[in-house]
Structure 1
Amino acid sequence: MRILQHTSYTVLLMILLILGSTDLQGQKINDITVNSSNVCAGNEIIISFEVRNGGNNQFTRSTQYTIEFGTGVGNNNDNFLARGVQLLFTADNAPDPFNNASAIITKSFLIPDDTPAGNIYVFRISSQNPNAGGSKKEVSDTFEVFAKPATPSASSNTPICSRGTLMLFANSSETNISYNWTGPNGFNRTNEQNPTINNATAAMSGDYSVSITSTTTECVSSTATISVFIEDENKWNGSVDNDWNNPGNWDCGRIPDLNENVRISGTGIPNYPVLNSGSAGQSKNIILESMASLEVLDNALEISGIISNNGTFNASNGTIEMKGNSFQTIPNNTFLNNRIKNLTINNLSDVSLSGDLEITGILNVENGNLNSAGFLKLISDATQTALIDGNGTGEIIGNVTIQRYIDPAFGYKYISSPFNNSTVGDLESYVNLDASFPLFYEYDENRQDLDGNDATGWSAYTTRSGSLNPGQGYAINMGTSSSAATIEISGIVNNSDYNRRLSNNNGTYTKGFHLVGNPYPSPIDWNATSGWNRTGIDDAIYLFSADNSDQFTGTYSSYVNDISSSGTNSGIIASMQGFFVHVTSTTGGNLGMTNSVRINDFNNHEFIKASASTTPLIRIAAGFENEQLNDPMVIYFDSYASLDFEAELDALKLMNTNKNVPNLYSISANKQKLLSINAISDPVKKNYQKIPLGLSTEKAGDIIFSLKNFDNISENFNVFLIDQERQTSINLKKRDYKVSVGKGQFNTRFFLAFSPLDNISSEEIIEPPFTLMSNQQKINIKMNLLQHENGTIRISAIDGKLIELVPVRANQEITIDGIKSNGVYLVSFTSGNQQYSKKVIVRK
């Protein structure tokens, strides 16, 4: 008795050694060994036996042997009942020739599936060249064959979607059995009838096989094989509605994520997806078949894989975020009209464009780089101007085309370049660079003529190869068309820090002003809490608006401390916009900025932008009668302000170039600064403090003063305009004031005063330029002028004879004691166009 191994089975064999003939010639078969234990129908067993030659027999490898399988007991060949299964073979492993020699021959034999169990079986082995005495020599062991278990049935829950649970099912009528499953990627489950695989992937698709093993006989059944398909796409079916975020619209019963491919078929779909409400959509690869459609509307779609579109992909009012971990491409003609609203790059392995793409909203290169390949365009129209978010850490590689919508495109516009490689020639489609009268200018604060005299800062700049320097402003004359126009230029966008040293040479005409510009492809915030370096620079900015009838003239407005002189400006400076700043000191200043000053602002994208303020302010305007335009200025109240010029609170006055618009301004107490915005402390309510106004005109005419805004102030507060020359005051809350003036500058005639009373006389509110304090023998005069005011006192007799002429200023006190006789005398004050006279009696 011997216990032997075959594959994974252990079999017990009863081996009977039957001795063969001892003839000296031929071959004798000895020692059959069955290398198996319990023999199972349908299984293969190994048979070994010895072949020994007689003395004179010549044996070769071509000698054929026969193994027969059947029933029979002992060494009686007549009892052998063959099962009709034979194995014919040659002794390929024996020596050739061998005389008086032996060889061990080993062969496998397959027990037929239909072999009845419970019988005793033997093998009969014969040689083509047997020894004398017979053609067959049975030398056999006996063994029992056990039945092969019936093949189990097998099934699964597929097809299923990736990341679902794969469920395998097996069933058998056999008892006392165990199950064994095998499948792709080394899948192997033993002693488990119905295994499951969580988070199944498409790579797990393939053939799965199951067999059963009898725990009694250890016989193994044939395998049952099933094909399993795990879908790597979540297909849109639209069976409920068109909502992307409704799980019922997806074959997989769930909303796709970044690890799942999406397919939208072009046929048989009742509702095509719209990504509108709810969370942002996600997809790995996204595939739109022919005739399919997808719309992203006021929402975002994140894509981590490829885009394959043969249908209609509409993101004109949506956001696309490229969010892969490997390199991604946006193919040509991916989106409807090659236009989307917003694009976000969030891929450290970079993204590239392979065709035209227009963006109407925000481009944010948050992580990784975007290779534009020259295909990218930022759109500007009457609604808004596209921008590049300055908060991203990535870069845009390659040229970008940027548009700038201008309405109307009439006259001069102050512009700047958002690129680091732009030239004047890039603008020749919009301005005649060869015009006899130059139409494109740069500004030089220290410009002088050929004789070394101060000159205006404007210098013609029409050389096509001339650089448009980042952060520098330029003036372009767009011509006489009142229609809108769109400037479009291309280059490498600025995305770095900007710094420029500015001088103040106190020129006669330039007065320390510089024309600078927004260097970025996005708006910047003048009020940003970080990112600015404005050492030695006033806090005000100044913007230009072209006239609507004369292409060479216009008006200026200002902005400081969240206050706009015109009410049309804010601290948001649009992309490609030029503006003036003023250097505070003659030692110069520094203007620097970083990406921190950039913002994403669409509320007001035009060159002149609206502003709203909660600060108490009064906006007064002066304009010629029957002219459409006027010139506003602002007085606002700040508890920290004074009557002096303060660079962080006040804005200077840049004179308008349109002669049909007067210049209205306030005058500071110190240094006679002309102010378009003047911050003062809360007025003293009962002393009628006067705020001096100035008016400058380039022609004579009737001027109308009006109160345009009375914001965030108590209704009990009244604003009076004082005309010192006419010794009259008008409550501007009740009506405008009209007065005729000539060409010139009027800096001592007009004042503002404030009062809680709305009905007071001019005598109460108007303080005369001087007060007489006569002691009947002398004339004592106390001047009531402002600190910067001056003039002349004239003492004359009633007949006009001049007695004395004295220059005076501010609050000066003088005494006239040279009068020799009694009488009535006339004391007169003159200052510019202002005159005031009063009689006095002298008794000696």
Structure 2
Amino acid sequence: GSFTLCTSTEKDYDWKEAALDLTGEDLTNWCSADAAYSTYQKTADEPKPSCWSGSVYNNVWFKFTAPSDYLKISLKTGGSFGSMHYGRMAVTDMADNEIGCVTHIVNQGTTLLTLTGLTSGEDYYLNVDNYYGSSQWGSFTLCTSTEKDYDWKEAALDLTGENLTNWCSADAAYSTYQKTADEPKPSCWSGSVYNNVWFKFTAPSDYLKISLKTGSNFGSMHYGRMAVTDMADNEIGCVTHIVNQGTTVLTLTGLTAGEDYLLNVDNYYGSSQWGSFTLCMTNIKDYDWKDHAYELTNTRAYCSSDQQFSTYWKTPDETKPSCWSNGPAGNVWFKFIATTPQIEIIGKTGGSYGNMQYMMMALWDNDDNVLECVNYSGSTSWKTISSTSLIPGETYYIEVDHRQGASFTTYWGSFSLCVDDGSFESSVLWLGGTSDDWHTASNWSGNFVPTALNPVDIPADSPNQPVVSSTGRCYSLTLFPGASITINSGSDLSVGTRVILQSNTTQMASLIDHGNLVVGGQSTMDVKYSGNGWHMVSAPIDNAVSGLYLDKYLRSYDEATGWEYIVPVNVPLNPAEGYALWSTSAGTNNVSYNGTFNTGNQSFDLSYSGPPTTGFGWNLVGNPYPSSLDWDEVSLPAGLDAAIYLWDPALGNYRYYIPGGGGLNTTSQYVPAGQAFFVHYTNATVQPLSFNNNDRAHSAQQFYKSNESQSNILRLKLSCETGSEQAGVRFINDCSADFDQNKDVYCIEGAGENTPTFYTYAQNEKYSINSMGPFGSDVTIDAGFYANNAGTYTLSVDQLESFDVDVQAFVEDPQTNTIAALDAESPYYFDYDGDLEEYKFSLILVKENAIVEAPVFVYGADDQIKIINKDLLEGSYLVFDLSGRKIAEGDFNNVSTTVEIYKDQTVYLVQYFLTNGERFVTKVFVK
């Protein structure tokens, strides 16, 4: 084609000698227009700056006058800021000496070049380029500023107005991203200062614990480290990088309350580790300190739960006991009041008991004298201390520590503790070989019924589990995982010291007290949770506070406003209310609920602020009891849907239960102890959801698929390489097209990262179980899903045999213009690229051999399909074989239309559309 030529000898800012002059701009706080400049088709000139990789590709030049000795230059791309990728910058003085340089860091976004030591009023050159040539060239925006932020010590972020007695910032509130190094390296940091930032705070007391949190929603920074100095630059405390992501703790003592200090936060090793983080501070001490020792209220055959205690992030205090080789390193403290002259203390580590290594222990009296001590030996050897010279009524202290290693983190970890004052008689073991009667002597190992002096152990594998039907007595009661005990109405069980309900990763002990349980000491229920995942939890004790979940993340849920983190450790946890719990510790985590077990009438106030499509009406309820809750026995108030929704961290999605659910991705009717669940409520009046002891049951199953059989139910399963999800459709006589409160189950969106969210539609609502009216001869059900992962997906159906008539299922996929048959042996495979916000399709159910009662009659004969149009209606048709391939299409308006079939098959699917919008589907047999 034709063209025009132009020539010019005038150079532009493509060349250093014609650099764009910014010397007249006020650069103290300046930005160019969006996308004002470009490297498009620019040419390379001048040598490559020191920090750039590759070559000079399409650089452009600017000349500016320094407004002060400090200047921050921002190169912005992406969106309205410009199309350039991988921008980079360098600054030289007028004699070509390099002043500052930054290489390509981000594809698109903001790249920063921070300059110090400039001469105010002097001119400088700014060199801007994209990495790797024409594939990356494009437009960009420039901004400059002389204002410093918390990247610099002199502009430290001021926290002096915060109440630091128990404070946390917002999640990921701060960042070391593209920050620069200033001030000398603190004493304990390795390498250099890389991307440090600064905070100024006022000490609330002489003690302060600072937690730097990263990982998950807490921030993206890796290998965080901290240091604190006073305002005269004297170092007060320092901690180096210890964990990749998680919590790093800096404990400060000897502060002057009311004085100001500076906190220096950095990541180790530069840009590969920089990122966001969260800060928390508190002056609340725990058993890390002798004056806040953990109080052991019972010393009669006491054992903690496995790994209940830890020296992780603990600090040394007090002097080293004489028999220890070194230390203290991370010692922790316990105290008790002697009840007898003797005591035996056993520290356990290794295996399920803990991961601390080289344990040391000591026993102190109340006058700071060490009575007994034991040094470390093997890395996981148990340690025992015994004494027979205690004075009953006096207070004593137990000190536990690990040996010092190459660093204070080398041997720290968790451990278990057992204490025995020798005052008990021998334990009695429940055998249950005769019956379930507590009061039958032959059910016990000693062939006698326990007395108030006998500790009692209840295993799970007994033929019968005990039932107390009159008055029972024991010194202590321990139920092993999976064991249970029932106290009948009108009966009582008196336990002198403690009740312990144990658990493991698959089973929990269970207690139901229709009668009266009296415990002289403390009741404990241990619950195991997997780490690195959310759990929905509920406390089975009446005095629970948020401190139960120390070093874990806890959230409450408000029906109107959603999730909120609980930061203080003294927030009451209401019985029958649910909470979300996350632990960053891998493996199995244990929570010990110590207090008085909930019993009798418990309730949760239900609220409703709007429709579920906008997130309202959802209430997080908890099982308040130390036994399972039988949902089928609970009386539901008006406006409460029948379904319950339980989060399964292993599945990465919700399981649900509704009576008659037919095994569709369900849990059972039994909600385990310690478990919370969502319910949906639609009454504008606040009402209580009430529980009582008749709603309780012993059930060892935490999650399972219901085996309940039901007719006229279709189970749909969507699978991919990383996970699967189910949805169900039921045809029930008394159901409507709208939401049926006792039959339908909403789809709660927001599944796990690798699990698709799959649902069917009715009246623009998304359902996990969609209960419809009686099955007709032609039913179309809209469905859809969304997922994070691209790949090959499989759609299958099950339980077609549950229908009262023979039914054929088809899937219509508008993305591929396909209709395919579905049954248990013939799933539908399709590719999903992950780009669609929602992948939609339709499921079509038709009766086998049925003549559709419609204005048009379709049948097959002699290699033909006949369309009989007795009312001379206008429309169009599509014919598919059972693999989903379209083999014919056309229009009809005559009485009879013939479609010739030249395929070696006998069964076809005919879909026809009338001009009035009606659509019909039938299956045709051709001889």
Q: TM-score range by the shorter chain?
A: 0.3 to 0.5
- TM-score, normalised to structure 1, is 0.46
Larger Rg, first or second structure (1 or 2): 1
